[in-house]
Structure 1
């Protein structure tokens, strides 16, 4: 799997690039993992309901083609986009989701944080607070979009939404759970290694 480190990039062109990559790939195209951060942006999935945006705080809302409702991306968050051929890897969508969630759980365990899945709510949680959001699109057996992990960010924009469509859902991040200085890029590297391990 090719790992691409994009740095901090605008959301809309990255979304377009994922679509273009997936449309152009064939049976021999290597899978890719894109690591990045985004400037502040809300993304609204295919089933997204406008009422889950509670107030306009000046952050753009981008309508996209993954599943799910509204979520937030911003600096200090690791975003991992998984451009995978599920058929070649003999993965079901549920199997892929489980492996992504387990990679987050194992990564956080390495930092001394106990995280888990929450029944009926995709993503990863510490207690009842969401620390990682997950959303995928599968087209012709290939995935794009992926997972975001909160590391060291301003969480206040989440107050303007019902995260992932859940009213009053709490969110958290590594910085608030573990004492220390956090380098988002270094966490991203560790996360990429966990994802690669779980996707082998």
Structure 2
């Protein structure tokens, strides 16, 4: 009987360790073959400089933005990244590149903030820009050399003004252009 309990206890400890280790995404230097995403991004250590950094939804945004995003009844949406993958949403490109996809919103409401971020190589960025071009998105080059990609087809975005931003080595998405100010990275 003791052997069975010990084996059961070991199995429980292993499951807890696996569950806890799945709580962060790891952002690594981009490669030609992206690393698989983690299942949840609701918690994790702070972003550290260098080619490898752990990033979570609560560290993707500034402390001020996090406070605003989690106040007044707005909450972090658990399982958002999985739902986007299950629906075949184009935003899973961030996850496919080892990045992160986050949503905060009001329960039973369409009002939400959606942010995506990942590192990206020049070749991967070129492929994403070709996809966006075929979907009707247009680019505007900013004075700092970054590119904002926007669409006039906002019908699928509940009246928001979605934007992709490409910078050397990374890209990001905000469901509404106002969300760009929330990024801490």
Report the TM-score when normalising by structure 2. 0.35
Structure 1 length-normalised TM: 0.33
Which structure's CA Rg is the greater one? 2
The structure richer in helix per residue is: 2
